[in-house]
Structure 1
Amino acid sequence: MLDIPFPSPTEVAVVDTDLTEIKPIERRADTIMMFTSLEGQHAVITESQSKPDDRKTAAWAHYISHVHVKFGCPVTLLVICQDEATATWAALPKTIGLPDRPTLSVHAVVVGPHNIPVIDDLAEAVNDVVLTMFSALTHARSKEVAAILEVLADALDTTDTTSAGHIAEQTEIGLGNTDARRIWRDLMATKTYRYQSEYAQMLRAEGEAKGEAKVLLMILDGRGVVIPDEVRRRITTCADTTVLETWCKRAIHATSLTDIFGTDDEQPEQG
C-alpha cells in the first residue's frame, strides 16, 4: 500500500516488547564530554577508529540514543581516524533499516590526517592546544607524531592545569594501541609538568618502580644469587619503590634470598 520494498517474510512472530536489558551488553565510548552554553547543553561522544568496522553502526547508535535519553540534549559523534581510508569509511552514513528506507542514520563528524595539519611548532601549539591534540591523534601512525607530542606536552604547560590534565588523558586514550601512545606515556612518566594528573603521576611512579626492580635483579644476578621464576615475577610486579629500595640495599651484601627478604613475611611468595 505504501509502495515500500520489503523482503517477503517466510515467518512472522511477535517478540517481547520489554526492551530492558536483563543481561547488560558492555558498551563503552572512548570519551563523552558535555558542553554548556547559553543555548543549553550539548554532548560530544569521541571515538578513535583504527580501521573500518561495520559493527560500529549498532554501537554508535546505542551510544547516541543512550546519551540523548540520559541527558536530554543534542548529541554529536566525533570519530578520530589515523588514515584517510578509515576516515572515508567513517564519514559515510551508517544506517539501520531497509536499504532504500532506513529507520535510523548515524552521521559522524570525522577528523583524520586528511583534514588536520601536522603541528610540530611550539608557538603554533601554544596558540591552539586542542588542535595540537587532534594533530597528534590523527597523525599517530606517521613519522611526525613524536615531534607533535613533544610540542603538545610543552604547550599544555602554558594553559590552566585542569584543562591541561584532561587533554593529557584524552591524548593517551585517543592514541589507542600505537607506538605513539608509548611515546606519550614515556613523556608523562619521565618529565615533570605542572599540569600532570594523578594518571601521569602514576605512570612516573610505575616507571620508577620498574627501574628499582631492574637494578635489584642486576645486583642479584651479579652476586650469583639464584632467582626462582616466582621470585623474579614478584620483584618485577612490585609497585612499592620504598620496599624495592630496601631490597636493593640488602642485596649489595647478600649471598641468598633470605639475606634480602629476611622473614617469610617479607620474602616474595614462591608458588
Structure 2
Amino acid sequence: MVSSPHEAMHRIFQEHPDLFSRVSEVLGVDFAPPTSVTVLPTDLTETRPLERRVDTLLRLDMEDDEPLILAIEAQGGKDPDKPASWAYYASYLLTKYQLQPILLVVCQDRATAEWAARPVHFGPRQWPVLTLRPLVAGPHNMPVITDPAEARKDLALATLSAITHGKNPDIGAILKAMTTVLRDTPDAVKNPIIEFISQGLGKLPAAALWRNLVAVDLSFYKSPLFEEVRDEARAKALDEGRAEGRAEGRAEGQAKGRAEDILFVLERRGLDVPDEARERITSCDDLDLLRHWLDRALTASSAAEIFETE
C-alpha cells in the first residue's frame, strides 16, 4: 500500500518540476536549470505481463545540453530487490527515449538514504557489467531550514526539506519557519504546500505539530487540511458546550484543547513540564495567551521559556 509520505516525496516534483535543479545543487552535482520540463507517463511495463512503474518521470530540456530523463523514486525503507528494478528503469528509459537517464531517490530515513546511495555493481565481481549510482536526497544531506527568510527563497525546496526532516529534533522550528512564510503567500501556492507537508509527515509525531500550527489560527488556511482542523475544533467546542452551556462551554472547551496542545508539543519535544508550569497552562482561559504559548512551545528550549515576554 502506497503511503502519504511516499506520494509527497515524489509528487512535489510534479507540482514543482524545476525543483530537481535546486536539489542537485544541494547534493553537489552540477545540473543547469532546465528550459522546460515535461511530465511523462510513469508506466514502464513491457508487452509481457510484468508491470513496472516508476514513481515520477520527467523530461528535462536543457539550454546548452542534451535533454535528460529524470526518474524519481520515494523510498521508505531498505529493499534488496530495488536496485535491480532501478537498473531496469534506467536501461529501459535509455532504450525507449534515447536520452540519458538520472535516478533520484528521496528518503525520510537516514539509514535508508545511506543504503540507497551506495553504488551497486551488477555482474561478476571480477568484471561488473553495470554500476548503478542514484542521486539520493534525505535527512543526511538536505538542508535544515529554520529561518523563514531562507524558506522564502525557495518554497519548493523548503517543503521537500521539511518532509525529509520529519524525524529531526528541530522539526518544530522547521515547520514554524514554513508557517511564518505561508502567512503572506498566495493561496494558489500555499495550499498545495500545506497538503504536501501534511501528506509527507504521514503518521510521524511531527504531523501533530503541523496540525497544531494550523490550528493556531483557523483563518490561516483554506485547504482540505484547514477544513478538517476547523471542523474538529468546532465539534470539540460544541461537545464542551453541550456539557457546560453553549457559549461558556465552547470557550472553555477551546481553552482546554489549546492547553492540551501546548502540553502535547512540549512533551513530544522531550521537554520537562514542571507541575507549576502544567498548572499555569491548564488553568489559563485566555485563548490569545494560550495561542501565544503554543506558538512559543514549538521552538522553546524549556517549558519556562514559553512564558517569557519576547
Taking only aligned residues, the RMSD between alpha carbons, in angstroms, comes to 4.0
SS at match of 1:79: strand
What is aligned with 1:111?
137
CA 1:108 to 1:191, structure 2 compared with 1: closer, same or farther past 3 Å? farther
Q: Does 1:204 align with 2:226?
A: yes
Distance 1:169 1:66 in 2: 33
The percent of aligned pairs where both chains have the same amino acid is 34
Distance 1:213 1:71 in 2: 53
Q: Which runs of 5+ in 2 are unaligned?
A: 1-44, 246-310
Which one scores higher on RCO, CA 8 angstroms, separation ≥ 6? 2
What is aligned with 2:119?
93
Q: Which amino acid aligns with 2:226?
A: R
Distance 1:166 1:72 in 2: 34
Contact 1:57 1:95 in 2 (8 A): no
Distance 1:63 1:170 in 2: 26
Contact 2:54 2:72 in 1 (8 A): no
Aligned partner (choices 141, 144, 152) of residue 126 of structure 1: 152
Compute the displacement of 1:217 (Å). Answer: 6.0
Matches within 5 A, 1:55-94: 55-65=81-91, 73-94=99-120
Contact 2:105 2:135 in 1 (8 A): yes
Q: Deviations over 1:101-153 (max 9, x none)?
A: 44443211123333333210111222233442343233221111121122124
Distance 1:217 1:70 in 2: 59
Q: Which amino acid aligns with 1:201?
A: S
Q: Which amino acid aligns with 2:230?
A: E
SS at match of 1:205: helix
Structure number having the greater helix percentage: 2
Contact 2:78 2:112 in 1 (8 A): yes
What is aligned with 1:36?
61
Contact 1:96 1:105 in 2 (8 A): yes
Distance 2:141 2:226 in 1: 34
Distance 1:157 1:69 in 2: 46
Distance 2:205 2:142 in 1: 20
SS at match of 2:223: helix
Matches within 5 A, 1:252-263: none
Distance 1:73 1:183 in 2: 43
Distance 2:145 2:155 in 1: 10
Q: Which runs of 5+ in 1 are unaligned?
A: 1-17, 224-271
What is aligned with 1:227?
none
Compute the displacement of 1:41 (Å). Answer: 4.1
CA 1:186 to 1:126, structure 2 compared with 1: closer, same or farther past 3 Å? same
TM-score when scaled to structure 2?
0.48
Q: Deviations over 1:52-98 (max 9, x none)?
A: 22222244335445655665543322223344433321111234444
CA 1:23 to 1:75, structure 2 compared with 1: closer, same or farther past 3 Å? closer
SS at match of 1:118: coil
Matches within 5 A, 1:160-179: 167-179=193-205
Largest Rg, 1 or 2: 1
TM-score when scaled to structure 1?
0.54
Distance 2:92 2:214 in 1: 34
Distance 1:157 1:125 in 2: 13
Aligned partner (choices 49, 59, 66) of residue 75 of structure 2: 49
Aligned residue pairs total 199
Q: Which amino acid aligns with 1:37?
A: M
CA 1:218 to 1:163, structure 2 compared with 1: closer, same or farther past 3 Å? closer
